[in-house]
Amino acid sequence: MLVAMGRANEAVGEPATDSWTSRFVVSADNRRVVESLTALGNGSFGTRGLISHSTGASRPDTFVNGLYDNADVPRLLAGPVWNGLDACRPESGNQAPVEEATLDLAAGVLKSETVGETIVSSVEFVSLCRPGVVVLRISGPVDSISPGDPLREPPKQPGVTVSRSSNDPQTLTVASGAATITAAASDVVCDEDGLRTLTRIAVYTSSTTSADAEELEERCRERLGDATNVGFAALLAEHTNAWRERWKPITIDLDSQPDTERSLRFAQFHLLCASNPGDEVAIGARGLTGRAYNGHVFWDTDVFVLPALAAFAPTHARAALRYRWHRLAPAQRRAHAEGRRGARFPWESAGTGDEVTPRSGTDLHGNIIPIKTGQEEEHIVADVAWAMAAYVAWTGDQEFLRTTASEIFVETARYWQSRIEVGDDGVGHLRGVIGPDEYHETIDDNAFTNLMARWNLRHAVTTCEELGIGDQTECAAWRRSAERLLNPYDEQRGIHEQFNDFFELEPVLAGSLGQPPLPADALLGHERIQQTQIIKQADVLMLHHMIPDDMPPGSLESDLAYYLPRTAHGSSLSPAVTASLLARSGQTEAALFWFDLAARLDTDDLSHTTAGGIHLATMGGLLQAFNQGFLGVRPRHGDLVVDPRVPPKWGTITQGFIFRCTPVLLVASEGEFRLTSTDPISTVTAQGERRTGRRITARRTHNQWEYT
Amino acid sequence: MRRVLGFVDDSPCTTSVISTAESLGRLLNADVDLISVEEPGHGPPERTHGVRMVTGDAAEVLAVELAAHDVAFAVMGSRSTHTKSEPLGHVTNALLQSSPVPLAIVPPSGESLPQQPRLLVPLDGTGETTTAVRDVAERLTEAGANIVGLHVYDSSSVPPFVDSLRNLETIAEEFAERHLPGRTERCELRIGDPGLHIIELAQLDEIDGIILAWHQRLSAGRAEVLRYVLRQLSVPILIIPIKPAPLGRASSPPERLEGKSPPAPPE
């Protein structure tokens, strides 16, 4: 018999539709996966979801953006645990209670309910309005909830010290080298008519500069006092209002496909949780949702997350780019140390901006394999520049272009110019690199690296000319370098050769190993895979996604036809980009397959690694596949290209985004689209027809869009 | 007090059987009960001091001993030489297939379990295997044993989006948390032939014993890993019977605890 009682999660109210919520039934086995999926954050601070208590094998980490320990390969430092309870379990009869966690995407809160013969319910959130403030309210029968210590030590981390102050309220500090996270928390327990309501408010402060510990503790206590005075109801109200404001210009409606609609909102939610409009934000591969990849920042952020943020939260995108810009000096030092000019950004980056890629790992055959990405995956240099350009294209932010992006364009162009080796035939080469397909190492003239470097050099020239900056002689040298850099396009076959002699490799297709997606390197082994044409993920094809205007007309279809059968999709980055490109080429059914796979990658734990955090690049890729792939929306030379290819089963789609500071609403179906914006925007169809206005409509006629 | 039975005969395994039974007795806080069978037509075994003698057909009388309610574990020897293709004698064979309690098989002149053994626990990722070994693993680690987990994928079970070697650590940690929460010092992941990887890891890691869950079926094509490991290793193999599924579920495939598999793409 259920006991009727007030529930903590009722404080939030119900969201408008079910597709504004993501629900997960929690078990002992999937608990750590759900903790990742329901993680909350505000870009500065992140906490894994759910309440940790003795009955579940929790991994209740909290993280502060940009705070790493001082290990040789630095790891995101896990801070004090604020959401632990000694017990929060309802009375249960013969059957174990059922725990369900519901992420209310619209309100930015996590609601949980554990149902046995009685009910324990909770709501928790990371305040969007008050940095470092986290709040939990839990209610249930008095004997079901035992708060215990409001702050607990995180799971053991090598080389990390934990100390507790004795002053009231107590603080708990976790420190490694100069990185320090301090938290203070207070519990208010109210027992009434057999019902217990516990309200816990915690505050986190941090420092990366060996700040005075007492000062941090005092700051924590002060802010805890402030938050406590505001009280639960007001903290919740301001927080949920802030989230609802966030959603207004960027809502996605896909009424006929509630699951897809939910997946897209879920992706937006997590990108927003991982970022903020602060001075800088380091968006690691798993954000602040788990320890996998040590919180390191990869090209995932620049290429997969950034364009999505630029369209939905441009100020957040700007902060992510400033993370790179603030680490220009170490990138310059590295280039100099390697005998180059300009700046070489690290493949894996943490707090300092130095290269932090581990040097080796053990494969599934028990062999120790050198990890060469830190030395050879140099396309990151162009990726960083490309991300800057993507942001400027979406926002038109001239101030950022002048003060930040232009410097990156110049420094990365200098790097490429000094990196290119010119052969006796006068052709430029980039030798000894790794492309996005990481199965093949130490290769020459990787198509992706070469053509992105060429794009980088050209873009630097254009920017310098537009802004009237830079040295004309240097610009001329960049232009020469760009034009003589080998372009591995085979005009006869209409396809790009992925790298020098790729066509000579053993012509094995991915399908010969099984049904992709599959980890071909694990199946064949590190040495064997390099002798075949099987690739891990889009490599040549990434060029069609990132710089489509630089690719020869018609080559998307021929490159797709050649490379997809060779692609194992052994990377979580692969499905979304594949979906996007298939959508652009009109292969809708295949595009939807890969799109759905990307949407389920974390919620179904397809990688078996979601317990270590969610895949933010997959989320960003999913949003790009939707926006750029199916809706055909992307910025180009100050215009907005709109060329929807809406799958018939999707019916009518509504998507809000921000283009050049103007909120835009796109309503699109298979046969027509309508754009409305508060200020006039300039749009262009795939055929090059331009239209400017606040309300633009078009109809598909003979497979082409015509304005009406 | 529960008992660990040690089956003693005149084979070269006897010393190892006794010392392994004593180790397990200490680890499980159980009495050690050494038993020897005097079969009709055969004389008594050489060693009788401290050994309880029973009479009759060895397989039959030892099966009765194993069925006693207070038996926690039993220890017996494998065949006297590694060179034979079949590593188990007929008595051991029979008992392995019927024993309701875990059996430790000790190779001749092999090693016995030390006080705080390092044990390798290969798991196939199914709930039934995990259920079978979890209790023993918990009790042994509480008594000071260290456990190294091992999961060997085949080409169809390996996760599709491994991304990089870095993620294997995450997958291994989660595998260990799901199957032996808080009990492993680490977990290793491999792909290929489970028997080969068990042997290789046991040798590299100086493992003192192997814990294997087993369906108790020795018919042709079954128990290949068990036979292979018994032939190759000189450390005790602790074999834990997998309890049969409840009626009506017997034909269901064993449930895997890891994430889902992706569907096949369209043609």
Residue A146 dihedral angles phi and psi, to the nearest 5°: -125, 105
CA atoms of A508 and A498, how far apart (whole Å) = 15
Question: Given A261, A355, A377, A438, which residue is catalytic?
Answer: A438
Other C-beta atoms lying within 10 Å of the C-beta of residue A443 = 21
Residue with the larger pLDDT of the pair A9 and A655: A655
* Contact (Cβ atoms closer than 8 angstroms) between residue A194 and residue A233: no
State the residue for tokens 């650590």: B169
Q: Write the DSSP assignment of A263-302 as a string of letters.
A: HHHHHHHHHHHT--SSS-----TTTTS-SGGGG-B-HIII
- Nearest partner of A128 among A349, A316, A359, judged by Cα: A316
**Residues A242-268: pLDDT tens digits?**
999 999 999 999 999 999 999 999 999
Beta-ladder partners of B147: B119, B184
User: Tell me, what's the pLDDT at B248?
Assistant: 43
**Residues A408-428: pLDDT tens digits?**
999 999 999 999 999 999 999
Beta-ladder partners of B94: none
**Residues B101-123: pLDDT tens digits?**
999 999 876 778 888 899 999 99
CA atoms of B229 and B195, how far apart (whole Å) = 6
Q: Is A630 left (phi over 0), alpha (psi -120 to 50) or beta?
A: alpha
- Nearest partner of A555 among A543, A569, A546, judged by Cα: A543
User: Tell me, what's the pLDDT at B250?
Assistant: 40
Res. B256: pLDDT tops 60: no
DSSP state, residue A535: B
Q: Which residues of B touch A537 (CB under 8 A)?
A: none
User: Tell me, what's the pLDDT at B11?
Assistant: 80
CA atoms of A99 and A170, how far apart (whole Å) = 31
Per-residue pLDDT band at A4 (split at 50, 70, 90): very low
The mean predicted confidence, pLDDT, of chain B is: 86
User: Tell me, what's the pLDDT at A167?
Assistant: 79
The reply to whether residue A571 touches residue B261, judged by beta carbons under 8 angstroms, is no
Per-residue pLDDT band at A5 (split at 50, 70, 90): very low
CA distances from A462 to A48, A418, A473, A640, A641 (A): 44, 19, 14, 20, 21
Q: Which residues contact B195 (CB under 8 A, 6 or more apart)?
A: B224, B225, B228, B229, B232
- 3-state helix, strand and coil shares in percent for chain A, rounded to the nearest 5: 40, 25, 40
CA atoms of B181 and B123, how far apart (whole Å) = 13
Q: Which residues of B touch A521 (CB under 8 A)?
A: 162
User: Tell me, what's the pLDDT at A492?
Assistant: 94
Q: Which tokens go with A283?
A: 């968006």
Please, what is the angle between helix A447-467 and helix A472-484, to 10°? 150
DSSP state, residue A309: H
Sign of CA dihedral A34, A37, A38, A42: positive
Which residue from B minimizes the CA distance to A522? B191
Chain B interface test: which of A364, A368, A595 (most B C-beta within 10 Å) = A364
H or E element that contains A138: strand A133-141
A192 catalytically annotated: no
Residue boundaries of the structural domains of chain A: 38-246, 650-707
* Contact (Cβ atoms closer than 8 angstroms) between residue A533 and residue A508: yes
Res. B84: pLDDT tops 60: no
User: Tell me, what's the pLDDT at B216?
Assistant: 82
CA atoms of A296 and A288, how far apart (whole Å) = 10
Out of B162, B166, B190, whose CB is closest to A293? B166
Residue count of chain B: 267
State the residue for tokens 């309440």: A51
Out of B158, B166, B190, whose CB is closest to A358? B166
CA atoms of B121 and B213, how far apart (whole Å) = 9
CA atoms of A701 and A672, how far apart (whole Å) = 9
Which residue from A minimizes the CA distance to B259? A605
* Contact (Cβ atoms closer than 8 angstroms) between residue A697 and residue A642: no
User: Tell me, what's the pLDDT at B249?
Assistant: 42
**Any CB–CB contact under 8 A between A590 and chain B?**
yes
Q: Which tokens go with A57?
A: 């094998």
Other C-beta atoms lying within 10 Å of the C-beta of residue B14 = 22
- First CA to last CA distance, chain B: 63
The reply to whether residue B260 touches residue A605, judged by beta carbons under 8 angstroms, is yes
**Residues A11-56: pLDDT tens digits?**
767 666 788 999 999 998 899 999 999 999 999 999 999 988 755 5
Q: Which residues contact A24 (CB under 8 A, 6 or more apart)?
A: A30, A34, A37, A38, A100, A101, A102, A103, A603
DSSP state, residue A2: P
The reply to whether residue B188 touches residue A438, judged by beta carbons under 8 angstroms, is no
What is the interface pTM, i.e. ipTM, of the complex?
Answer: 0.89
Q: Which residues of B touch A513 (CB under 8 A)?
A: 155
Longest dimension (CA), chain A: 88
Residue with the larger pLDDT of the pair A656 and B225: A656
CA atoms of A56 and A249, how far apart (whole Å) = 39
* Contact (Cβ atoms closer than 8 angstroms) between residue A257 and residue A619: no
H or E element that contains A115: strand A109-115
The reply to whether residue B165 touches residue A362, judged by beta carbons under 8 angstroms, is yes
Q: Write the DSSP assignment of A376-442 as a string of letters.
A: H-TTHHHHHHHHHHHHHHHH--HHHIIIIIHHHHHHHHHHHHHHPEE-TTS-EE--SB--SSTTS-S
H or E element that contains A445: none
The rounded Cα A64 to chain-centroid distance in angstroms is: 16
- State the architecture of A38-246 in CATH terms: Distorted Sandwich (2.70)
**Once rounded to an integer, what is the mean pLDDT over residues B141-166?**
92
User: Tell me, what's the pLDDT at B252?
Assistant: 43
Note which residues in 317-376 of chain A have CB less than 8 A from chain B.
Answer: 358, 361-366, 369, 371, 373
CA atoms of A2 and A196, how far apart (whole Å) = 16
The mean predicted confidence, pLDDT, of chain A is: 94
CA atoms of A585 and B103, how far apart (whole Å) = 62
Note which residues in 7-36 of chain A have CB less than 8 A from chain B.
Answer: 28-29, 32-33
Res. B253: pLDDT tops 50: no
Per-residue pLDDT band at A2 (split at 50, 70, 90): very low
CA atoms of A23 and A19, how far apart (whole Å) = 10
**Any CB–CB contact under 8 A between A611 and chain B?**
yes
Peptide bond into A169 cis (omega under 30): yes
**Once rounded to an integer, what is the mean pLDDT over residues A150-163?**
92
- Nearest partner of B21 among B37, B4, B43, judged by Cα: B4
CA atoms of A82 and A174, how far apart (whole Å) = 13
Q: Report the predicted TM-score, pTM, of the whole model to 2 decimal places.
A: 0.93
Q: Write the DSSP assignment of chain B as a string of letters.
A: --EEEEEE-SSTTHHHHHHHHHHHHHHHT-EEEEEEEE-TTSPPPS--TT-EEEES-HHHHHHHHHTSTTEEEEEEE--S-TTSS--S-HHHHHHHHH-SS-EEEE-TT-PPP-SS-EEEEE--SBHHHHHHHHHHHHHHHHTT-EEEEEEEE-TTTS-S---SHHHHHHHHHHHHHHHSTTTEEEEEEEES-HHHHHHHHHHHTT-SEEEEEE----STTSSHHHHHHHHH--S-EEEEEPPPPPTT-TTSPPPB-SPPPPPPPP-
**Radius of gyration (Cα) for chain A, nearest Å?**
26
CA atoms of A18 and B184, how far apart (whole Å) = 41
CA atoms of A129 and A140, how far apart (whole Å) = 28
Number of cross-chain residue pairs from A and B with Cβ atoms under 8 Å apart: 137
Q: Which tokens go with B62?
A: 């030892």
CA atoms of B169 and B192, how far apart (whole Å) = 18
The reply to whether residue A517 touches residue B262, judged by beta carbons under 8 angstroms, is yes
CA atoms of A571 and A435, how far apart (whole Å) = 13
Out of A33, A593, A610, whose CB is closest to B265? A593
**Residues A548-559: pLDDT tens digits?**
999 999 999 999
**Residues B216-244: pLDDT tens digits?**
887 777 778 888 898 888 899 999 999 76
* Contact (Cβ atoms closer than 8 angstroms) between residue A289 and residue A613: yes
What's the gap in Å between the CA of A583 and the closest CA on chain B? Answer: 14
The reply to whether residue B170 touches residue A569, judged by beta carbons under 8 angstroms, is no
**Once rounded to an integer, what is the mean pLDDT over residues A567-592?**
97
The reply to whether residue B166 touches residue A361, judged by beta carbons under 8 angstroms, is yes
Q: Which tokens go with B121?
A: 């626990």
Longest dimension (CA), chain B: 73
